[in-house]
Amino acid sequence: MTIKYLKISLATGLFCLSLLPNLSHAELTPNQINLLTVASEKDSGKHFMVLVDLLIIANPADEVEIRRIARAIMPKIFSEPKASAPTNITSPMIINGTIFSDSGAEQLSKFILPGWDKEVELNGLVSSGNTSQKSFGVATKFHRENGAYEQTVATYFDYNTSKSITNKRRYGVSFKNDYSINNSSYVTGFAGVEADSFGAFNKRLTINSGYGLRVFDNDKYKWNFEGGPAMLITKPLATGKYGTDILVYASSLFTWNINERSDFENETKVFMGSKVVIENKTDYKLRVSGALSGKLSFDVIYNRDAPIGRKKTDTISRIGVLYDF
């Protein structure tokens, strides 16, 4: 075995030396052709391709002619030169047979709401407060910028059963529409519906509008602050009857692009008046590969007017997988 590889190494070395006087043209010498012929008869052509590559490295301008000669010697394994692969394609990640890649995400995006940026999140939850359970959740987010308009549609669903008993069922859908006045300001409108069978309220409709200010808006940091009138239509667990409250709201959304792979986001909403509701959500996203990311989030929800028997503060911690397309 050692003698075999010694012969191969010696032949390769002699072949490399034979390249030196022949750098300016692709016409192969008889010795070079003989070495290619011998290599084509050994190891199913494995070393033949090595010698062909050495010739091309020495004579890059004559690659087409060298491949033509090599193809004539061993046409079975020799193939046409392949185009260089684009360098900006991210290697796909495969999980249980599913491919998560940028190219796949782009193709999927053409069929589902084209023109919108889309996110689908699957997560696990650990809750405290009115619900102290481990849960499963799914969330989606659709976002687009259309001229002066910026629109976002978001949904979520959290569900858990323990010993065949349902102890968490939360879901909601919302729509937000912003219209830019100029680069630093905008007007906004929001409408959202939520239901929580085990929280501080049973069902709630939130409607608000206002004026927004872009404090920071660059590639690294974004911070939007907005405020205005709001209306909460709530169905408490205790009475089961809907009530309407006119409030004032303020919100802050801060985004930090830490680097090419990770992002941090914090959003705070405050509703004040006859009721007081404070919501804070913190997210950290780390891109794993292609369109697949890992996501950590922590929510705090405070309801000053929670009914008797319900805690005023709920917290939700999530660890999830995010696919954007």
Phi, psi of 275 (to 5 degrees): -125, 155
pLDDT at 6: 41
pLDDT at 60: 74
Least confident interval from 11-15, 126-130, 209-213: 11-15
pTM value?
Answer: 0.63
On the question of pLDDT at 189 being above 90, the answer is yes
Higher pLDDT residue, 188 or 11?
188
What is the share, in percent, of the chain residues with pLDDT greater than 70? 74
Least confident interval from 7-11, 140-144, 265-269: 7-11
CA distances from 70 to 8, 52, 67 (A): 19, 7, 5
Cα 48 to Cα 135: distance, rounded to the nearest angstrom: 59
Residue with tokens 């193809």: 71
Mean pLDDT for 24-28 is 52
On the question of pLDDT at 52 being above 50, the answer is yes
- Tell me which H or E stretch contains 194: strand 185-196
On the question of pLDDT at 44 being above 80, the answer is no
Q: Parallel, antiparallel, or unpaired: how do β-strands 292-303 and 165-182 relate?
A: unpaired
Cα 284 to Cα 264: distance, rounded to the nearest angstrom: 5
Cα 297 to Cα 307: distance, rounded to the nearest angstrom: 27
